[in-house]
Amino acid sequence: MLKLQFTFIALISASILLAQNNDSILKATFSKKIKGEFPKTRMFNLEYNLQGPTAFTSKLFDENFSKGTIDSQREVNFISNIPLYKNKKWTYTGSLNYRFNEFVFSDVENVSSSTNYTSNKYEQFHTFAIVLSTTYTSKLFNKPFIYNGSLILDGGEQGFERIKGIIGASIVLKATKNKVFSIGTLVFIDPTAIMPILPIISYNQKFENSNYELDIFLPQRLFFRKNISHFARLSLGSRLAPSGFYVYNDGRNILLPNTSEYAQIEVQSGLTYEHLLNKKCIITISGGVSSFITSRLTEKAQPIREYYYSNQQEAKGFFNIGLSYNPDLRKKK
C-alpha cells in the first residue's frame, strides 16, 4: 500500500545516512539527522492527522456515481521499529505499523443511473503491517553503496491479506559536513504499485554560517528549514501524503469485490515545527493546505490501472501532530 511504500522509502534513505557513520567527520552529524529527518525511522512514532471539509465527486466503473461533502478525514498512525541485529555490514530491523482512518460525510447524493447505493455517514478502516527489513552496506567506486530489502505482511480488520516486497539500492555521490547528495532506485514486488520502479534523489545542504538548510528528497518532499535554536526547527515546503487501506464489501453492492485496496495521494504544503523535548522525545506539529492528486479503488492484488472506483476532492486544510520516542540502546560502559 502507498503509505507503507513511502514509509520504507524513508527507511532506505535513512540507511544512506547510516552509511556515512564510518566517516569520523560525519558520524555525529548523521546519527542525529536520521532521527530528525525521518520520524518513521525512530523506535516509536505516533501521529494524528486531521483534514478539513472538502467537496467530492466520484465515479464507479467510469460512470458518475456520487457527490457530496467529506466533513473531515482523520488518521492515527503508529509505527515501531525494533533493531534485531547489527554489525559492520548488515542491519536487521523489525517494524510494526497500525493505522486508523475515518471519513465523515454529509449531503451525499447518488447520481448514478444504474447503481443504487446508500452512503454511511461514517466510514472507518483499520490497517496493520508487520515488516522485516535488512540493509547491507558496501562500497562502489569507493563510495558508500547501500542495498535494502523489506518483506511486508499487511491486512485489515478481517485479518491478514497480502505479502509484498521492496528492494532498493542507493549510492552516496557526495558527502561533506554540510552537503549530502545521493541517488538510488526502488523496485516494488507488488502489482498494485503505481510505479513498479521508482527513482530516488536525495540532496541536503546546510548553508555556511547560517541556520538555514535545504532538504530535497524526491519524490517524497522538498523543504526549506531554519534552526530556531538547538531544540527547535521550522520548515516550509511540501510533501507527498499517501494513504491507503483495505475495503471490505458489506453486501450493499453485489457487483463489487469482497476485498479491495484503496490508494489516495495528496500534496501537503505548509509549515512544520519540530521541538526536542529531551534527548529521546521529539514533538512535530504541521499545518497548511492539502491538494488532492488521485484516489483509486481496485480489487485486492490487482494492478492499480484496473481500478473500478475513483473520486476527486477539492483542496482543504490539514493539521498534523506527532510524538516520537527513540531511546539509546547502546550498552553503557
Compute CA distances 324 → 47, 92, 148, 271, whole Å.
9, 21, 24, 18
AA letter at 99? R
pTM of the model: 0.86
- Model pLDDT, residue 316: 97
Q: What residue segments make up the domains of the chain, in order of their start?
A: 2-325
How many other CB atoms are there within 10 angstroms of residue 210's CB atom? 10
Work out the burial of residue 299: count CB atoms within 10 Å of its CB; fewer than 13 is exposed, 13-18 middle, 19 or more buried. Answer: middle
AA letter at 70? I
Work out the burial of residue 53: count CB atoms within 10 Å of its CB; fewer than 13 is exposed, 13-18 middle, 19 or more buried. Answer: middle
Q: How far apart are CA 18 and CA 170, in angstroms?
A: 12
How many other CB atoms are there within 10 angstroms of residue 328's CB atom? 9
Segment holding 105, helix H or strand E? strand 90-110
- Model pLDDT, residue 10: 52
Q: How far apart are CA 235 and CA 215, in angstroms?
A: 9
- In sequence order, the 6+-apart residues with CB closer than 8 A to the CB of 220 are 6, 9, 10, 239, 240
- Model pLDDT, residue 24: 36
Segment holding 264, helix H or strand E? strand 259-276
Closest CA to 271 of 228, 320, 230: 320
Gyration radius from the chain CA atoms: 21
- Model pLDDT, residue 39: 58
pLDDT in tens, the chain (333 residues): 444 445 545 555 444 444 444 443 333 333 344 344 445 567 889 999 999 999 999 999 999 999 999 999 999 999 898 889 988 889 898 999 999 999 999 999 988 777 666 678 899 999 999 999 898 888 888 888 888 899 999 999 999 999 999 898 888 898 888 888 989 888 989 888 877 888 988 898 989 888 899 999 888 889 999 988 888 899 999 998 888 899 998 776 777 899 999 999 999 999 999 998 887 888 999 999 999 999 999 999 999 889 999 999 999 999 999 998 887 655 554
Q: How far apart are CA 284 and CA 272, in angstroms?
A: 7
Closest CA to 95 of 166, 159, 37: 166
Segment holding 92, helix H or strand E? strand 90-110
Q: How far apart are CA 177 and CA 170, in angstroms?
A: 19
Q: How far apart are CA 268 and CA 284, in angstroms?
A: 15
- Model pLDDT, residue 137: 85
Q: How far apart are CA 320 and CA 75, in angstroms?
A: 9
- Model pLDDT, residue 176: 85
Compute CA distances 108 → 54, 57, 77, 290, 294, whole Å.
12, 9, 27, 22, 20
- Model pLDDT, residue 333: 47
- Model pLDDT, residue 41: 63
Q: What is the DSSP string of 8-38?
A: HHHHHHHHHHHGGGGSTTTHHHHHHHHHHH-
